[in-house]
Every structure is written in C-alpha cells, then in structure tokens.
Structure 1
C-alpha cells in the first residue's frame, strides 16, 4: 500500500516536516507525534514520485516538483487557517525547507536535519545508497539478477541527471544563505554515513543575518537522526527552538 502524507491537526501553531530523498513521511512521524503532543499542528507532505514500490517513480520527477510540493504544503495550511508556519526537513527535505527560506516564502522559521545544503555532489553517498535501494526493491518484486543488471544502466543515467539537478539547486541557493534572516535550526549526526557532517558546520557559518541559529550535534547518531538513538533529544531541541519563535507577534 502506498504511503501518504500525514496531517496531525491540533493547536494554532503549524509545523511542516519534510522527508528525505527516496523515503517517505515515516522519516518524521515520531517527531510529528512529539510536536502534536505539545499542541502543534503538524503536516508532512509526500514528495512527488515517492512512497511507491517503484523507485523509477522518483527518477521521473525533479527537485522543482518537490519545491512545488513544499509550497503547496504552505498553501494547504493557509487554507486551513494556519498563518504562521515553521518548516523543517530531514536530508533532502532540509534542502527543500531551506529553499523556502531563500525564496522568501511566508514561513516563520526553518530547520535542517543532516541536510546536504552545500557541496551536494561531493559531500554525500546518496548515489550509492539509491542504487542499492533500487536493487533491493527489484529483488523483492521478483526480478532476476539478469533482469536487474539490464535495468541498472538506465536507472544510473536517470539518477545522475537527477543528482545533477539537485546539485544545481543547492548551488543556486548557496549565495543567498548569508541573506536569510529567519531563525534556523540545524541538526547534524556525528556518525552520518550519507552526508558529510562538515556541511552542517559550513552552513552555520554561512548564515550571517539569521536572527537565531540553533545548532545541535548528535555525536552517536547516524543519518536518519529523526528515528535514531538521539531522536528524543532532537524532539526536545526542536520543541525548545519552536518556543523561542515570535508566534503571532508574542
């Protein structure tokens, strides 16, 4: 069964949580539930092409689609009556959250969790991980080794094109990081196996005008910090960050 977005409707303060590349909102569900318990309304959109059993569905979309998904998430909450919104994302979701800040979308604050917001092509192992993910799904679907081997060149071609598009997106964003004046939360796992942890440190240094930069390093966590050993600490830190924000001017 396909995985969908989730919407936990609770209090007047709204939070958007965005999932990682090739993943689903399950990445951020535990964080969403923790924030719901603290009276936040939480929406986690499913990025186009994700949440299916066919990995090629992801490769038939683009980062522009996911940015549009994020902007539609803001619109969805506005239509529900939520005017002030904080946006966070894990990995690729954090890139999209940061893009909303760069584009001056109507959000109160932003946050990244282990996100490759800089030096995208050289600073991560996303390509290797995605190709392994494709092979696992194809084996589960009953494909033979020969059939999988026949499929992989086209998958690699499409993947490389998509990773180039993501790299172009982050390169277009980087010159504008020094102009962001929103409060920003940055979480980084010390044992991140997918994204170079130093990217988070460089990102923090690039934020010259941000009114708050709340940086957290989780030494024992791997890439999926939202579901890892430090998830409770992350939940508390995100909660504390949200309490600092100027909701409704007060």
Structure 2
C-alpha cells in the first residue's frame, strides 16, 4: 500500500502572511497545528516542504548540497508569497527551519520572525549533539518500514553516516555565517527554547537572545518542553506566545 506523504500547506487568511519552516527529517506536519492556530487568528500561513523531505528514501534527506538547497527553498517560499501579492511577511522555523527562517529574515524585507529550538548560537556543535544518533535511529526505522532487511540496512549504514556528517557540517557552516550577521537583525525577533530539549543545546535560545543587540527580542523558555515544541504537550502555551509576539509587530 502506498504511504500518503505529508504535503506543503497554504492557509489563506488576511494580508498578513507567515511562513513556517519545518525541522530536519520533519515535514510540514511539524508546523501544521501552529499554522491552523495562526490561520484562526486571521493570518495567511504558508508551510513549504524542504527539498528531500516527506520521503521514504532517507538518502534524500542527506543528499549532497542539501543545506544550500534548503536556503534556496526558503528564498523561493518568500518570493512565492510576494508573487501572490503578500507584502507583509513574518518567517519562523523549527530547528533547521529556524536556520532557514533567519536567513530569509536577514536577506529580505520582513516585519519579523524567529526560531523554535534552533542552535544558531551554541557551545555544542550540531555534530556533537544528539542529532546524529537520532537521525540514524530514525533512518533505520524508515528503511525497515519500506522493507529493507537488516543486512541491507547495515550495508548502507556507512554511506548514510558519511552523508549525514557532510549535511550536518553544511548546516553548521550556515549557522556560523548567520552568527556573524546577528548585528544585521533589525526587526523584532522571537525565540522559543525548550528546557528539556533532547536533541540540541537547550541553552542555545538564551544564548541567541543575549547575542542580539540591534533589535527587540521576545525570548520564551518552556522549561518542561522537548525539542519538537510545535506538537508537544506545551504546544498551546507556545502558540499563544507566538500570537502575542505577532500582535506587537508593525504590519502597516
């Protein structure tokens, strides 16, 4: 039976538009609940799918050049909304999606934006976080789900690990560049950080907030929340802080 894979979504609302970027190995489903809530508040919400995601082939997630392709995906999403006639745009992302959102924010005219559990400013390199181990566990489950034998999974493990390392180093390089551009942030910036983040440095959000000195920062720490805050048990409280932040922006 063919598995139905998640699709990007576009929820039409008013002239205030929001882009939501999902996480590494995630899909638009990462941000669908947040998107629905924001749309109920009146906003137009667009959640594209990053290249290589919503796939049953885990090698698509770590294809050579993916990090730069994801930056291009982010720019394309912004351009797509502009072409639809939306000129007041805010951009957010979960984890990797926050890296993409921050890049879009720095390179385009936006009213605001921010990150959810994105390790842009951190003492822990992503290659030393729990992301590699989590990815390999996820990948093995996916490969078995599509019918690969244990022997086939093991045979592919070395190549997958190598491509994963290259991909994570590519993401880390983008985050390093973004760190050097923090003083270019000129619009109010939202940050959500989970105190029990099991994948990346749980202090990264606070470190990022401390590093931003050129714009107001709305830092929200959810002490008991885990990495995928958008669908975790604290998602209602989290969504409310995003909505409160959006009401402070200059949409005129």
TM-score range, shorter chain: over 0.9
For residues 79-132 of structure 1, the C-alpha deviation after alignment (integer angstroms, 9 at most, x for no partner) is 111101000000000011111223x31211111001111344366311111111
1:196 aligns with 2:201: yes
- For 1:24-173, what aligned pairs fall within 5 Å after superposition? 24-60=27-63, 61-102=65-106, 104-119=107-122, 120-121=125-126, 124-173=129-178
**TM-score scaled to structure 2, two decimals?**
0.94
Tell me, yes or no, if the aligned pair for 1:179 and 1:208 is still in contact at 8 Å: no
For residues 23-80 of structure 1, the C-alpha deviation after alignment (integer angstroms, 9 at most, x for no partner) is 1010000000000000000000000000011111111151111111111111111111
Equivalent-residue separation in structure 1 for 2:128 and 2:227 (angstroms) = 13
Aligned CA-pair RMSD: 1.2
- Aligned partner of 2:210 among 181, 205, 208: 205
Q: Which moved more, 1:27-36 or 1:133-142?
A: 133-142
Structure 1 spans left out of the alignment, 5+ residues: none
Tell me, yes or no, if the aligned pair for 1:184 and 1:214 is still in contact at 8 Å: yes
Deviation >6 Å, runs of 4+: none
Counterpart in the other structure of 2:5 = 2
Tell me, yes or no, if the aligned pair for 1:123 and 1:196 is still in contact at 8 Å: no
Tell me, yes or no, if the aligned pair for 1:123 and 1:199 is still in contact at 8 Å: no
Tell me, yes or no, if the aligned pair for 2:127 and 2:169 is still in contact at 8 Å: no
Query: 1:178 Cα deviation (Å)?
Result: 2.5
Counterpart in the other structure of 2:183 = 178
1:186 counterpart SS class: strand
Q: Which moved more, 1:138-147 or 1:6-15?
A: 138-147
- Aligned partner of 1:214 among 201, 211, 218: 218
Structure 2 spans left out of the alignment, 5+ residues: none
Q: Which moved more, 1:177-186 or 1:114-123?
A: 114-123
Query: 1:3 Cα deviation (Å)?
Result: 1.9
Counterpart in the other structure of 1:12 = 15
* C-alpha spacing 1:123/1:79, structure 2 compared with 1 (3 Å): same
Counterpart in the other structure of 1:225 = 229
Tell me, yes or no, if the aligned pair for 1:189 and 1:217 is still in contact at 8 Å: yes
1:247 counterpart SS class: coil
**TM-score scaled to structure 1, two decimals?**
0.95
